[in-house]
Amino acid sequence: MVELICLGVPGSPFVVPALSGGGAPGPAALATTFLGGQTGFYEDLAQGASLFQDTAAITPSGVGDPIGRANDYGPGGNNATQASGSARPVRVATAGSFNGSSHFLLTPFVPDISGITMMARFSVDAGSSNIGDAIGMHDTDNASVYCILSVDASGQPRCIVGLSNSIALYASDIRGAGFVNLAATCDGSTIRLYLDGTEVATAATVGVIPVFYPFAVGARNRIGSIFTSFFDGEIEKAAAVNRVLTPTEISDFSDNWSAA
């Protein structure tokens, strides 16, 4: 859990720790993700909290309603003792906000040529354009190959692995749809794109999976020192592993992330 998010600017990124083997944090699906010794990363930018609504103020009818006034009657100043028996908790979830121009996180994770899975849970506003990469790397030094999970200017989710024409694209605008779970796998020959746990597009891989530079979250790491295609929106979670997850595992991740 990241409680204070330091979003980097080019030249001074916040570095996300790598994961290897078992013991990875996060949902139950992660318990088996790294057991084969594969490397990857898992970044949780959500900061969930339960705020307790005092019924003397506005009683919300749903988790998206305004909280109004929340009182704490505990002697230590942090207990959730209620002013009324009818008061109820309201869960509030947040995410990392990326400005589309300079914010990003840098991971030490480098893809493997044998296969990869990329996943992100994010939200983009209805009016956004040139949204950018949720996870990305572009190796211009070695045949100009890509490994990105992104949303294009028309709000369509896509994955590019290999050359620029190696694209799995879902032709549906997801802007303004709230948080969605986007995932993609590539085994070196086929790209599979998943939206909220369901496969929505496939494409043949043209070229190879790039293996020289680490991933960025919220941008595209170009040759290890230049960052482009900044993400405009909120990213709650992001992960990648050097293994092709099964459709069932992808669905499990989506279910866990949606319920978290």
Residue at token pair 């979003």: 7
207 and 135 in a common domain: yes
Is residue 77 in some structural domain? yes
> What confidence tens digit (pLDDT) does each residue in 103-121 have?
999 998 899 888 999 999 9
Distance between CA 194 and CA 5 in Å, rounded? 27
Is residue 5 in some structural domain? no
Task: Supply the range of the domain harboring residue 169.
Answer: 14-46+96-259
Torsion on CA atoms 172, 175, 179, 185, rounded to nearest 10: 40
Question: Looking at the predicted structure, is the pLDDT value of residue 175 above 60?
Answer: yes
Q: What mean pLDDT do residues 173-186 have?
A: 96
Output the pLDDT for position 226.
Answer: 92
Angle (CA) 66 195 103, round 5° = 60
Q: What is the pTM of this model?
A: 0.74
Token reading at 204: 């043949």
Q: How many CB atoms lie within 10 A of CB 46?
A: 18
> What confidence tens digit (pLDDT) does each residue in 46-84 have?
765 555 444 444 444 444 444 444 444 444 444 444 444
| CA atoms within 13 A of residue 121's CA, in its CB half-sphere | 23
Bin 256: left if φ > 0, else alpha if -120 < ψ < 50, else beta: alpha
Distance between CA 46 and CA 43 in Å, rounded? 9
Q: How far is CA 191 from the centre of its chain?
A: 18
- Domains identified in the chain, total number: 2
